[in-house]
Amino acid sequence: MNELPNLDFNDDRLREECGIFGVYGHPDAAALTALGLHALQHRGQESVGIVSYDGERFNAERRLGLVSENFTKASVLEQLIGRNSIGHVRYSTTGETTLRNVQPLFADLAGGGLAVAHNGNLTNAVTLRDELVNSGCIFQTTSDTETILQLIARSKRGNTLARFIDALFKIEGAYALVVLTNKKLIGVRDPLGIRPLVIGELDGSYILASETCALDIIGANFVREVENGEIVVITDDGIESVKPFPPVKLQAMCFRIHLFCSAG
């Protein structure tokens, strides 16, 4: 039987939780990501991680502590070569504060490598994890973010984006995600838009961030917010908007939230 976490139901504040950041198409992608995460440090102080892609392989640095303690040295950033990167600062809502839970999480999948950084909390993570473990999946972390990776890996859809969408239809809760593949930077907000995600532009490159302060610190221009339930797919050809969630799903989720808020 799964033990319920010790929650204070009298504390109904919407916590900031984590900060996420992504860059596509800039020669200093990792350095910009470190600066962006520094601006988002108020969203999480437990750990910081950056994953970059250099056209051939993914490079990762994950550390416990603050951005300023770990990503100000050139020797560290020089390991994160590439024009595309994502990063994460963590305030844990699920999982231990250990190095194995530091995001972004990375996996080699059939369609290539994939890294995920997640801000939010999956309300059905325990149920999904139990189902995946019972079907033979092996988890390396205690973070609910790994559940998303496992769902993507097990999807039977034809390409990475389709598998990602398939996984999104299985998860519930408040979330914003940035995903890095060998060809794309992907961002998504949950259908209710509870977790923030914005789009920026800098010298022809695109930025995704939890807040506009992360755009300001690198001198990027604010483009717009990612809409509720929207997926933005950034490639060399520009930005594509995908809206996979039908209105009926949005209405159903709103009804569930209304019932939850009305109880007691």
Give how far Cα 200 sits from Cα of 55, 67, 127, 211, 247, Å. 22, 21, 36, 10, 27
**Which residue among 18, 137, 213, 254 is the active-site one?**
18
Unique residue bearing structure tokens 């303690």? 69
Q: Please say if 18 is a catalytic residue.
A: yes
* CB contact set of 36 (below 8 Å; sequence gap of 6+): 21, 23, 87, 207, 209, 214, 215, 217, 218
Alpha carbons 197 and 193: distance in angstroms, whole number: 9
Unique residue bearing structure tokens 């991680």? 49
* CB contact set of 182 (below 8 Å; sequence gap of 6+): 53, 58, 112, 113
Which regions of the chain does DSSP assign to beta strands (E)? 19-24, 47-53, 58-64, 84-90, 105-109, 112-122, 173-181, 185-189, 198-202, 205-209, 221-225, 231-235, 238-242
In angstroms, what is the C-alpha Rg of the chain? 18
Residues catalogued as catalytic: 18
